[in-house]
Amino acid sequence: MAKIKIATDWLAACAGCHMSLLDIDERIVALLDQVEFTSSPVTDLKHPPKEGVTVGILTGAVANSHNVEVARQMRERCQILIAVGDCATFGGIVAMRNMVGTQAALERAYLETETTVDGLIPDSPELGKPLDMVTGVDKVVKVDIFIPGCPPSADALFYAISELLAGRVPVVLPDEYFKYD
């Protein structure tokens, strides 16, 4: 049987969710008999393969135009999209920006901090443009499975992948893996 292909990527994230994925530890070796991790922030391949993958995993909030592009590309190239972590499901820590507004946050961060000298708000065309509102991934593309948590435990991620491998959809997280913080 061909291996199930998984692609992952992060949006506005701290990498904690990907650390949780790696925290699956030695079980990941057994998992590799059945799945193939294609693109991810920690592998050489950075974009999901054009021919598509079965499972796409996104961590992090949608905070700028680049995040929107990454989320859309992942959605186009995967069959089942999983939003992993509080940022991807609710906006998380990144959404604290919504409480002050994007412009005010940029000004505070790049112009007004006590140690700033000749501050400048970055505006290179290569950078994503910050959005007015930080949201979870599902406000931009359709999400099939949500795994909240900051970060979700390795067990929660392993459980979800195992359920998918067993062909059980939708994934209903048991109580012990379902948490908001």
Closest CA to 6 of 113, 168, 175, 165: 165
Please state the closest distance from residue 102 (CB atom) to other proteins, in A.
Answer: 11
CB-based contacts of 72: which residues, under 8 Å, 6+ apart? 140, 141
List binders of other proteins among 116-135 (CB under 8 A).
133, 135
Q: How many CA atoms lie within 13 A of 180 on its CB side?
A: 2
Please state the closest distance from residue 47 (CB atom) to other proteins, in A.
Answer: 25
Please state the closest distance from residue 38 (CB atom) to other proteins, in A.
Answer: 25
What SS3 state is found at 62?
strand
| Helix ranges (DSSP H) in 26-148 | 27-31, 65-77, 85-90, 102-107
If the CB atoms of residues 130 and 148 are measured against other proteins, the closer one turns out to be 148
Q: Give the length of the chain.
A: 181
Q: Phi and psi of 119, rounded to 5°?
A: -65, 160
What SS3 state is found at 76?
helix
CB-based contacts of 32: which residues, under 8 Å, 6+ apart? none
**Pick from 81, 86, 160, 164: which binds other proteins (CB under 8 A)?**
86
Please state the closest distance from residue 18 (CB atom) to other proteins, in A.
Answer: 17
**Pick from 100, 111, 127, 169: which binds other proteins (CB under 8 A)?**
100
Report if residue 27 touches other proteins, rule: CB under 8 A.
Answer: no
How many residues of this chain bind other proteins (CB under 8 A)? 29
Report if residue 17 touches other proteins, rule: CB under 8 A.
Answer: no
Provide the binding-site residues for other proteins, judged by CB under 8 A: 83, 86, 89-93, 95-96, 98-100, 133, 135-136, 138-139, 143, 146-148, 150, 172-173, 175, 178-181
